[in-house]
Structure formats: C-alpha cells, structure tokens
Amino acid sequence: MLEDVQGMVRLGLLLLAVVVLRKFIDWRRAAASVNNLPGFRTLFSDRFVWFPFRVDGISPGLQSEVNLYRKYKDFEEAGWDIMAGVSVLPSAEVTVFLADPVVVKDVIGARARFPKPMGPYKILLAFGPNLVASEGEEWKRQRKLVAPAFSEKNNKLVWDETVRIMEDLFDNVWGSKDTVEIDNITDLTVPITLLVIGVAGFGRRISWKDEAVAPDGHQMTFKQALHIVSRNLFLQLMFPRWLLRWGLPVMRNFYTASNELQFYMQEMIVARRTAEVKEERHDLFSSLLDANEGLAESGEKLTDDGLLGNVFIFMVAGYETSAHTLAYCFILLALYQEEQEKFYQSIKQVLSDGHTPTYEEFSTLSYSMAVFNETLRLFPPVITIPKQSAEDTSFTTTNAAGEKRTIPVPKGTYVTVHTPGLHNNSKYWEDPDAFKPARFLKDYPRDCFLPFSGGPRGCIGRGFSETESIAVLTLLIARYRVEVRPEPQFAGETFAQTRARLLKSKLSVTLYPQRAPLVFKRR
C-alpha cells in the first residue's frame, strides 16, 4: 500500500516536472520571438487581475496603476523606448510596450494591422453593443451612426449649460461664502459633470438641489445610479450577475444601480419616441435617437440594444473622464500657486471687463486649454491603449545613444501604447515630472501626447470633454483661488509628501484621485 502511494507521488511529481518544463520552454520561446527585448519577465501577466501587485519575477502589477507611477522609468531601465513583458501564466505570451512616438503613430494609424483586442472591453458591453467595444465592420457601422451626435451645436449646448450650472453653484450653493472647504475634490467635480451630462447628454436639466429623493418606481436617483455603476464597473467583469445580486453589500448595491440605470435609459427612450411634440434638440441622446429612426429605411440603424449600449458609454465616459481630469487640474493648481497665478492673470487679460465668456470666445482661452492639456499629460484618463498585431511585422526604435534596434512582432502579439511612458519620455518633454502648462502654448511634441488615443479610433467625445472642462476651469479660477486644505495630521509634510498624498490615484473606468481636500477662497 505504501509503495503504491509512493509510486503515485513520484508519478505526480514527474508530471508536474514535465508541465513546469513545458511552461519554461514556452516562456523562453515567447521571449525569443521578440529577440529577447528587455522588459518584464514574470510568472503572471499584467492582465492577471487576481494578482494586481508588482513583485519582481512574479507580476508586473496591473499596468493601469503601475504605469502611472513608474511613467518612463521602466523604459529607462530597459534602455529602449520599446520593452517586452513575457509571462508564464495564464499562458506564455508577450506584450510589447511602446513609448516611441514614431512607432506609436504607426500603430494607432493602422487600424487593420493593429486592431484592439476585444477581451479587455467586455466590461463595456454591460448594457449593449457600442462604439468603444466594437471592431472591424461593426465599428465602422457604429461610428457612422454615432458621429453626427457630436456636433458643433452639441458643443455649444455643452458650453452654455456648463456656464448655467457653474453660475447656479456660485449663486445658490456657495452663495455669499468667502471660503468653501471641500473634503475631496471629486465631491465637487463629479456633481458638476453629472449635471452637464444630464442636460447636454440626455436633456435632463437638473439643478444642484434636485434629485435628492428617487422618483416613484425607482430605488435610486439617476445621479446615484450613474455614479455607482461607473465607479464599480469592474465588478461586472469579475463576478456573474447572480453573485452580484446576492453577494456582499457593495455587489448588491452595484446590481441595483445597474438595473436602475437601465430603467432610466429605457424610460428616456420610450418618452422621446412617444412624445406628441418633437422638439429640435441637440443633446447626444436625442441626436442618436433621431439618427437611428431617420436612417431606418436605408437599413442603417442602431438596434435598441445598440442605442442603449452607446447611451451608457456616453454617460460613463462623458462624465467620469471630465470629472476626474478636472479634479487633477484643481489639485495641481492648488499645489503650484505660481502656475495658478499665471493662469488667473491670463483669464483677467481675456475677460478684462469681467464678463462671462461665451462659446464663441472658446478659442481665446488658450491658457485654460494649456492647463487642461498639461493635466492630461501627467494624468491621462486612459493609461494603456491595447492593440494586437494582426500579422507578422517588426518595429525599429532608437536608444539614447542613437543605436537602432529592430524588434520582430509575431502575429497575435499584444501591443500596448504606454501612455504615461509616452507623456513623460524625457527625449521629447523637458522636465517631464513638472507641472508647466505653458509648454502647451508653444510647439510641443504632438505625437507624444495621446490622452484621448489617436488615429481613426481617437475619442469621439474629445470636443465635449474639452468644452465642458475649459468652461469649468475658467469660471472657477476667475472667481476663486484654490488651495490645499490644511489638516493637522499632515502639518509636518514636505511639498513632495503633500503632492504624493493628494495625487495618489486609483482606477475605475478611468483614473481618479483617491482623496484630495481643497479649499476655494473668493478673490
């Protein structure tokens, strides 16, 4: 009996050794496929969500957050603006990371040669097919139907409604207060962008004091449901629906919120389709609905699921990206008072008589755009832009010494545009760690700046986000100075420690600061 057990143990160890050897051979073969390009050599890949931490030889960590803090450092250590991550599990595979603007431009411009792998985007199919989570012919069809919604008329609506919302904040919420303390800056920026997307996205004009109580037939307000879903969307990817319904409180809350959001969207669709009087409207939702029904005879139309899916994407991407970028803007302006003063003086120069800027004056607010762009350079909402090679190809890059290296890229290789590496590449950006908005007032390396991706798949809502954000930044800084709110427990901090604390970030759908208490003082 003992001999039988020992024999089974030996057999098991032999099989294990064979598996380990096979994995090792596959891993070596994968590294050789890219000519052993320096980079990460780990047990788990960066896509292995169950081990999100960075441990040398074990895992590079989830690239979304690691990349933000490491920025260009991993490329410096590798010695090239292209590096390779080679992992053992879940299977031996290679990811080629790019911080070379010449190669990046080629990759994002060649949609057919480098399509996006759809796996990471499954999370965005929660409410239906949509533009972001599509590829190939389906993407072309979606783009054709969706693009007309993002018009100049919509941008003007965004500006006008953002101004109205900010003036409502100043007059009816902050009122006569000379000092307004904010526990966390996202407590201010998230409601602003929620109100904007409510009216410019869906024709739901809401004031700061509306929607405190859920309407009849709903368990949550529209604002609550949208915020909970977008902040916890990763749960949709990690757990089945039945577990979300019966799991931990945070899971049940997300399940309820996602159902509520679908109910709200379905109600809006029914209300618009059955309205007796058809108004001319320029919000995104109405434009989508009009385009959908107007193209029905030609056979080119969004399905109801497709309409719902794109509405969802606009809601999440349209408010969260702007909310978080604005949060980073105010944190950086609070930290860098000299830069804030330059910004304020530029606003005074443009609005010398103190009038409220109109949409027609958008192009004159160049310093506002510079602050916005410099923030996006340091904190891009999209940390990695995933692609996959559809054919055998190669990349050629040059190191700091001027040496060239050609890297083979076999068909099927994951190719990731490393946005923080690109945005902080010291070959192209002077003093890349510094917050210097003025660098965007002159010629800058445009191929090294991809906060909204680029090429054919560049973000379709870029104009919406820029219009809203410039209005918010300009109006707030014109009236208030923003400062770091002092807290006794952090009284002995250095500037570097304060900066690191306020800019400590996490990732939901996009990147966001965890906690940044600020104070706004009337000028």
Residues annotated as binding site for heme?
459
**Whole-angstrom Cα distance, residue 333 to residue 477?**
9
**Whole-angstrom Cα distance, residue 7 to residue 348?**
85
Tokens 């420690």 — which residue?
Answer: 497
Binding site membership: which residues?
459
Locate all alpha helices (DSSP H) within 351-461, ordered by sequence.
366-378, 419-423
**Whole-angstrom Cα distance, residue 418 to residue 40?**
14
Nearest to 241 by CA among 230, 228, 260, 254: 254
Nearest to 466 by CA among 385, 362, 384, 312: 362
Query: What angle, rounded to 10 degrees, do the helices at 284-294 and 136-146 form?
Result: 110
SS3 (DSSP) at 486: coil
Beta-bridge partners for 44: 89
Torsion angles phi and psi, residue 38, rounded to 5:
-60, 155
**Whole-angstrom Cα distance, residue 119 to residue 133?**
9
Give yes or no for a contact between 82 and 34, defined as CB atoms under 8 angstroms apart.
no
The DSSP-derived string for 90-127 is SS-EEEEEE--HHHHHHHHH-TTTSPPPSGGGGGGGTT
Beta-bridge partners for 416: 97, 386
**Whole-angstrom Cα distance, residue 130 to residue 147?**
12
Tokens 């059955």 — which residue?
Answer: 274
Nearest to 103 by CA among 515, 442, 450, 361: 450
Please give the helix or strand (H or E) that residue 505 lies within, else none: strand 505-507
CB neighbours of 352 closer than 8 A, spacing ≥ 6?
none
Q: Is 321 left (phi over 0), alpha (psi -120 to 50) or beta?
A: alpha
The token pair that represents 31 in the structure block:
């590294």
